[in-house]
Amino acid sequence: MTLLAVIRHGPTEWNAARKLQGMSDIPLSAEGRALVATWKLPEEFRPWRFLSSPLERAQETAKLLGAQTLMVEPLLREMSFGEWEGFTVKELAARGHPDEFQALADKGLDMLPPGGESPRMVIERLQTLLKRLAQEGHPTVAVCHKGVIRALLSLATGWPMLGRQPVKLDWSSLHCFRLDKDGTPTLDRINVSLREIADIAP
């Protein structure tokens, strides 16, 4: 069994505006940097190997978390939203017939933005990485993206990305998965706090 902990990058200006980012290389906002600066990796995870998505917002988050040696992993990149990137969901629905947009969104794993990737495509590339990590056997912290973490959750629980998530994820926390020998993930722990709690004198 191999352990994989995943952390979503800190906030960006596009996150604040609710714009779909995808592969657009948007850096952390000033507020995002300030937030991540308050995060502290729990002691048990600090010796683990660090991987990061190639996108700047993920690499910057990993460095702020104290990654001394950072390996960039292209398979951890965010899901591409193609022509949807830079728009909010509300704006996209207003561009065409709202029913048509909703019908596409209701395809779950097979939702395919024009010129982008479906969640199923993200899962397929993620499986390649998970198999490799399982073979290597090193406990790993991966700083990545919401779309990647949702794909990992789908693999671990069978969630078809329709309806509510099977568990509620805090996007300012760490989520840990166990990888079987073939890379199949199962939930280990979710919502491990990254917020340092100040010591309180008795």
- Read off the CATH number of the domain in which 127 is found: 3.40.50.1240
Q: What is the per-residue pLDDT for 201?
A: 37
Give residue 44's domain range.
2-193
Is 189 part of a structural domain of the chain? yes
Query: Is 78 annotated in the active site?
Result: yes
Q: What is the per-residue pLDDT for 106?
A: 87
Q: What is the per-residue pLDDT for 202?
A: 38
* Number of domains forming the structure of the chain: 1
Edge to edge, the sheet with strand 173-179 lists 70-72, 49-52, 140-144, 2-8, 173-179, 185-193
pLDDT class of 200 with cuts at 50, 70, 90: very low
Q: Residue 70 above 60 pLDDT? A: yes
Q: Catalytic residue, from 31, 44, 73, 78: name it.
A: 78
Q: What is the per-residue pLDDT for 98?
A: 66
Is 182 part of a structural domain of the chain? yes
Is 198 part of a structural domain of the chain? no
Is 201 part of a structural domain of the chain? no
Nearest to 74 by CA among 51, 90, 95, 44: 51
pTM here?
0.92
What would the two tokens of residue 86 be? 């830079």
Q: What is the per-residue pLDDT for 12?
A: 98
pLDDT tens by residue, 92-149: 888 876 676 778 778 999 999 999 999 999 999 999 999 999 999 999 999 999 999 9
Query: Is 100 annotated in the active site?
Result: no
* Mean pLDDT for the stretch of residues 77-97: 89
* Mean pLDDT for the stretch of residues 37-66: 96
What would the two tokens of residue 148 be? 């990647």
